[in-house]
Structure 1
Amino acid sequence: MPASKSRHPAKKRPAHRAEKKYWSADVTRNSDALDLESDVFKKRNPSDIAMSLKRSAEHSRRRKASPFQSAMSMLTFYINRAGKNLSASRRRTLDRAKDELRKAFGKDG
């Protein structure tokens, strides 16, 4: 066998780690329940996050639960999947967004 040919072709690897697909990122981008505004979870204002989720949930025709449940589920899902990678300040902002979402739907207790 000539030296230039190998029995085992080189395995192709992703160019860098960013190309690796995570199911949770796919859910956030392509949820069957909600069409989310781009970068909604990167907003700094909890009220803006809540209002965006509320709009998405109310306009969705594919959700299975109430708009409130769908919006809250998506926010909780994002927080849970981010886990330890969320800074304390980001976590506080997202937790405040939950409170704002409850207010927006008239669910404050």
Structure 2
Amino acid sequence: MERGVFKLTSAKKIAASLKRSAEHSSRRKAGAYRSALSMLTFYINRAGKTLPETQRTRLERAKVELKRAFGRE
């Protein structure tokens, strides 16, 4: 995974980076979509209440973009 991926300003860029990371990973047990979504959800949950609302909104939008990127709309 790229460094600072969750700090990117665009939800599309975050989704693209997570997709790239998940597809190139040889350690995943589930599919690439599930793996990418898991990374994103883990980050959101781990940050908890300390995550600024603007960043949380961006990351939630990244979930939608991730779905589009994998053709699961």
Give the TM-score of the pair, scaled to structure 2: 0.98
Which residue of the partner structure matches residue 94 of structure 1?
Answer: 59
Tell whether 2:42 aligns with 1:77: yes
Equivalent AA in structure 2 for residue 72 of structure 1 = L
Distance 2:21 2:6 in 1: 13
RMSD: 0.5
Q: Which runs of 5+ in 2 are unaligned?
A: none
Q: Helix, strand or coil: the match of 1:44?
A: coil
Give the TM-score of the pair, scaled to structure 1: 0.66
Which runs of at least 4 in structure 1 moved beyond 4 Å after TM superposition?
Answer: none
Greater relative contact order: 1 or 2 (C-alpha under 8 angstroms, separation 6 or more)? 2
Q: How many corresponding residue pairs?
A: 73
Distance 1:91 1:61 in 2: 29
The structure with more helix, counted as a fraction of residues: 2
Percent identity, aligned pairs only?
60
Q: Which runs of 5+ in 1 are unaligned?
A: 1-35
Equivalent AA in structure 1 for residue 67 of structure 2 = R
